[in-house]
C-alpha cells in the first residue's frame, strides 16, 4: 500500500512541480502486498520503474532494493527489465566496459593476472539457466519480526546466463592445492571507508564446479547495470549473496575470509536446514554460511482473492538448490488433500519449473502448492525461524473465489 | 480516476534514480539526528519498512549494529537520540 501523503511527495519530487492531479484512490496504483508484511513496509513500498526497468516494488531507494511483483513470475525466465534489484552499499559506480578489468590472484594462486572484457569473452563460453534468489526473500513474512529489508515474494528471478567458467579463469592464474576459498569483490562500496566492503567467498570446491561462471550476458543481452554490468558471478543453486555484481577482483585464499560479510552476516544455525552443500572452512560450533537454496514454490497465475471459473488452471513456479524439481502437488481444500500438478518446460535443474493444476472446487477456495525435489526434500508448513530471516519456504497459499 | 492513476504512473516512471525526499519521517525530537546521520548511508524508508515491530531492545541493537558492524561515524549523544526517536516513533 502507498499512502496519499507519500505519493504526493514522490510525485512532486520527481516531476519538479507542485501542481499534481488529485489522487482519488492511491491504493489502486500501488502493488498488491501480502497483508502479513509489516505495516510500515506496506505504507512506504511503491511500484516504481528504475532506468531500464519495468515497475518493480520499491523496498528502499538507497541502496536500491526493488522486488518483482508476483505477476512477473508467470514464465520460467524472468526478463531483464523485470528482474529484481538488490544492493547492500550505496556507492554504485556505472562501470565502463572498455576500461574494466578483472584482477585474479591471491595467496592461493601461482600468479596475479588481469582480464579485459574481451579476454573474458575469449574463454570458452557456457550457458546455464539458473535462479538467483536473495537469501532473505520473504523475510517480511517472518513472525516474530526480523529486521532488514522486508522482502515479500519477489527478491528472485531466473535467467539464462552466459559467461566463462570460473574454473577456467582460475586456471589462468594457477590455483594452488592449498587454496580453500575463493573470494569476490565488486565495484560497489559503502559511502564511508569504515563501511565493510561487500566481499564474499566460496569454498574452492563450489568455485570450480562446471556451472559456476562469471557471466557477461543475461538472457542474450549484456547485464543491466543494476544486475551487475559488465560481469557478475553466477553460482547456480546457491543464494544470491554469492552472486557478486560488477565483479572486479577474484582472490584464491589459503585461509578463510574473516570479514563482516562472511563471519557475521549471511549465517544460519548449524543443522537447522536440510541442506546438503556445506561450507566447512567457515563453519563454527553454532552456525554456518547460508549455501544452497531450499526447495520452494510460488503460485503466480492469480492474485490472492481473484475471481475465477471452476476448472481454471492455477499454477506457478518451483525451484530448489539444483537437485531438480520432481513433483509439485496442489491442494484446493486448505491442505487436507493433495493432487499432483502438471510440470511444464524443463530448462534445467537450476531453473524455475512451471506447474499447473485445475481448480475443481467452488466457492472460497484456498489453493496451496508444495514442491518436492530429486532428493526427497519438500517445503515446510511451519516457519523455520532463524535470526537473519533466511530460507523461507513455507507452503504458499492464495484464496480464489471460484464460481 | 483511471486517468489520474495513469498520469501518476507516468510521473513515477520518470527515468531518474528515485528521489528520497518522499520519505518524510514523523516530526518529533531526534528527527534531525536521524536525518543527519542515518541518511548518509541509506534512505530512511529502511526505518519505516521495519515498523512497527521492533521493541526498544531491537532498535537499540540496530543502532549499535550500524555503528559497530557497518562503521557509521555517529557520536554517542546522537546515537542515543536516534535510538530514542526510533523507539518512540517506530517501535512497539
User: Are A268 and A314 members of one domain?
Assistant: no
Number of domains in chain A: 2
CATH code for position A389: 2.60.40.650
pLDDT in tens, B51-84: 998 899 999 999 999 999 999 999 999 999 999 9
Q: Which three cell numbers stand for residue B68?
A: 559497530
Return d(Cα A1, Cα A336) in angstroms, integer: 33
Number of domains in chain B: 1
pLDDT of amino acid B22:
75
Whether residue B44 lies inside any domain: the answer is yes
Q: What's the number of CA atoms in the CB half-sphere (13 Å) around residue A133?
A: 36
Nearest CA-CA distance, residue A229 and chain B, Å: 17
Assess whether pLDDT exceeds 60 at residue B8.
no
Write out the residue range of the structural domain in which residue A364 sits: 296-402
- B31 has a chain A CB within 8 A of its CB: no
CA–chain centroid gap for A212, Å, is: 16
Pick A29's closest partner by Cβ from B8, B42, B58. Answer: B8
Closest-CA residue of chain A to B45: A60
Return d(Cα B8, Cα B13) in angstroms, integer: 9
pLDDT of amino acid B20:
72
Burial of residue B29, with CB atoms counted within 10 A of its CB: 0-12 exposed, 13-18 middle, 19 or more buried? exposed
User: Are A125 and A257 members of one domain?
Assistant: yes
Cβ–Cβ gap B43/A62 under 8 Å: yes
User: Are A259 and A308 members of one domain?
Assistant: no
Contacts of B71 in chain A (CB under 8 A): 190, 192-196
Cβ–Cβ gap B11/A11 under 8 Å: yes
Cβ–Cβ gap A63/B42 under 8 Å: yes
Assess whether pLDDT exceeds 60 at residue B5.
no
pLDDT of amino acid A30:
74
Closest-CA residue of chain B to A66: B18
User: Are A230 and A315 members of one domain?
Assistant: no
Q: Write out chain A's pLDDT in tens, 403 residues.
A: 333 333 333 333 333 333 333 333 334 457 889 999 999 999 999 999 999 999 999 999 999 999 999 999 999 999 999 999 999 999 999 999 999 999 999 999 999 999 999 999 999 999 999 999 999 999 999 999 999 999 999 999 999 999 999 999 999 999 999 999 999 999 999 999 999 999 999 999 999 999 999 999 999 999 999 999 999 999 999 999 999 999 999 999 999 999 999 999 999 999 999 999 999 999 999 999 999 999 999 999 999 999 999 999 999 999 999 999 999 999 999 999 999 999 999 999 999 999 999 999 999 999 999 999 999 999 999 999 999 999 999 999 999 999 9
CATH code for position A132: 3.90.420.10
pLDDT of amino acid B7:
40
User: Are A330 and A391 members of one domain?
Assistant: yes
Pick B12's closest partner by Cβ from A10, A61, A144. Answer: A10
Q: In angstroms, what CA-CA distances link A202 with A163, A213, A232?
A: 18, 13, 14
Return d(Cα B38, Cα B78) in angstroms, integer: 10
Q: In angstroms, what CA-CA distances link A338 with A102, A233, A327, A331, A359?
A: 50, 38, 12, 5, 12
Q: Which residues contact B37 (CB under 8 A, 6 or more apart)?
A: B72, B74, B78, B82
User: Are A141 and A273 members of one domain?
Assistant: yes
Average pLDDT over residues B16-36: 85
Q: Which residues contact B32 (CB under 8 A, 6 or more apart)?
A: none
Q: A49: alpha, beta or left, given left = phi > 0 and alpha = psi -120 to 50?
A: beta
Q: Which residues contact A186 (CB under 8 A, 6 or more apart)?
A: A198, A228, A232, A244, A245, A246, A247, A248
3-state secondary structure chain B: CHHHHHHHHHHHCCCCCCCHHHCCCCCCCCHHHHHHHHHHCCCCHHHHHCCCCCCHHHHHHHHHHHHHCCCCCCCHHHHHHHHHHHHHHHCC
Return d(Cα A396, Cα B61) in angstroms, integer: 32
Whether residue B5 lies inside any domain: the answer is no
- A150 has a chain B CB within 8 A of its CB: yes
Domain boundary among A249, A266, A289: A289
Whether residue B6 lies inside any domain: the answer is no
- A382 has a chain B CB within 8 A of its CB: no
Whether residue B8 lies inside any domain: the answer is no
Q: Which three cell numbers stand for residue A113?
A: 593476472
pLDDT band (50, 70, 90) for residue B21? low
Domain boundary among A229, A254, A289: A289
User: Are A333 and A212 members of one domain?
Assistant: no
CATH code for position B59: 1.10.760.10
DSSP string, A263-308: HTSSEEETTSS------GGG--SSEEE--BPPPEEEE-SS-TT-EE
Burial of residue B28, with CB atoms counted within 10 A of its CB: 0-12 exposed, 13-18 middle, 19 or more buried? exposed
ipTM of the complex: 0.90
Q: Which three cell numbers stand for residue A28?
A: 489502486
Domain boundary among A289, A315, A349: A289
Stretch 122-141 of chain A: residues touching chain B, C-beta under 8 Å: 140
Return d(Cα A388, Cα B7) in angstroms, integer: 39
- A51 has a chain B CB within 8 A of its CB: yes
Pick A194's closest partner by Cβ from B3, B14, B71. Answer: B71
Q: Which residue has the cell 552443500?
A: A277
What is the pTM for the complete model shown? 0.91
Write out the residue range of the structural domain in which residue B53 sits: 20-90
User: Are A157 and A255 members of one domain?
Assistant: yes
pLDDT of amino acid A20:
33
Amino acid at each position: 500500500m502507498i499512502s496519499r501523503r507519500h505519493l504526493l511527495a514522490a510525485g512532486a519530487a520527481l516531476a519538479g512541480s507542485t501542481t499534481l492531479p488529485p489522487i482519488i484512490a492511491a491504493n489502486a496504483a500501488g502493488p498488491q502486498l501480502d497483508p502479513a508484511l509489516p505495516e510500515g513496509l506496506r505504507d512506504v513500498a511503491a511500484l516504481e520503474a528504475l532506468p531500464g526497468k519495468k515497475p518493480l516494488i520499491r523496498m528502499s531507494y538507497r541502496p536500491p532494493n526493488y522486488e518483482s511483483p508476483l505477476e512477473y513470475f508467470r514464465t520460467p525466465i524472468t526478463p531483464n527489465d523485470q528482474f529484481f534489484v538488490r544492493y547492500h552499499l550505496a556507492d554504485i559506480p556505472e562501470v565502463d566496459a572498455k576500461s574494466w578489468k578483472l584482477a585474479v590472484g591471491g595467496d592461493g594462486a601461482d600468479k596475479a593476472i588481469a582480464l579485459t572484457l574481451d579476454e573474458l569473452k575469449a574463454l570458452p563460453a557456457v550457458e546455464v539457466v539458473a535462479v538467483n534468489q536473495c537469501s532473505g526473500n520473504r523475510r517480511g513474512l517472518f513472525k516474530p519480526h526480523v529486521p532488514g529489508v522486508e522482502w515479500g515474494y519477489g527478491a528472485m528471478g531466473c535467467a539464462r546466463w552466459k559467461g566463462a567458467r570460473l574454473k577456467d579463469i582460475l586456471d589462468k592464474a594457477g590455483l594452488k592445492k592449498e587454496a580453500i576459498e575463493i573470494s569476490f569483490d565488486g565495484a560497489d562500496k559503502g559511502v564511508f571507508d569504515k563501511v565493510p566492503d561487500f566481499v564474499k567467498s566460496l569454498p574452492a570446491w563450489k568455485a570450480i564446479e562446471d556451472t559456476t561462471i562469471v557471466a557477461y550476458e543475461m538472457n542474450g543481452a549484456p547485464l543491466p547495470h543494476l544486475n551487475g554490468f559488465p560481469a557478475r558471478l553466477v553460482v547456480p543453486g546457491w543464494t544470491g549473496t554469492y552472486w557478486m555484481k560488477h565483479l572486479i577482483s577474484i582472490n584464491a585464499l589459503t585461509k578463510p575470509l574473516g570479514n563482516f560479510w562472511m563471519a557475521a552476516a549471511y549465517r544460519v544455525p548449524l543443522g537447522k536446514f536440510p541442506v546438503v552443500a556445506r561450507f566447512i572452512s567457515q563453519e563454527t560450533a553454532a552456525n554456518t554460511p547460508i549455501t544452497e537454496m531450499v526447495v520452494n514454490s510460488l503460485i503466480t497465475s492469480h492474485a490472492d482473492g481473484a475471481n475465477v471459473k471452476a476448472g481454471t488452471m492455477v499454477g506457478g513456479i518451483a525451484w530448489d538448490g539444483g537437485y531438480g524439481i520432481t513433483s509439485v502437488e496442489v491442494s484446493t481444500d486448505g491442505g487436507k488433500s493433495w493432487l499432483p500438478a502438471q510440470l511444464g518446460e524443463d530448462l534445467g535443474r537450476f531453473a524455475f519449473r512451471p506447474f499447473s493444476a485445475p481448480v475443481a472446487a467452488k466457492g472460497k477456495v484456498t489453493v496451496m502448492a508444495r514442491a518436492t525435489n530429486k532428493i526427497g526434500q519438500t517445503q515446510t508448513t511451519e516457519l523455520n525461524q532463524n535470526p537473519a530471516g533466511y530460507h523461507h519456504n513455507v507452503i504458499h497459499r492464495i484464496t480464489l473465489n471460484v464460481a | 480516476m483511471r486517468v489520474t492513476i495513469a498520469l501518476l504512473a507516468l510521473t513515477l516512471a520518470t527515468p531518474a534514480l528515485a528521489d528520497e525526499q518522499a520519505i518524510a519521517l514523523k516530526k518529533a525530537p531526534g528527527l534531525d539526528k536521524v536525518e543527519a546521520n542515518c541518511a548518509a548511508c541509506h534512505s530512511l524508508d529502511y526505518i519505516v519498512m521495519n515498523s512497527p515491530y521492533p521493541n526498544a531492545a531491537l532498535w537499540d541493537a540496530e543502532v549499535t549494529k550500524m555503528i559497530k558492524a557497518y562503521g557509521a561515524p555517529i557520536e554517542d549523544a546522537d546515537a542515543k537520540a536516534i535510538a530514542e526517536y526510533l523507539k518512540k516513533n517506530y517501535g512497539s
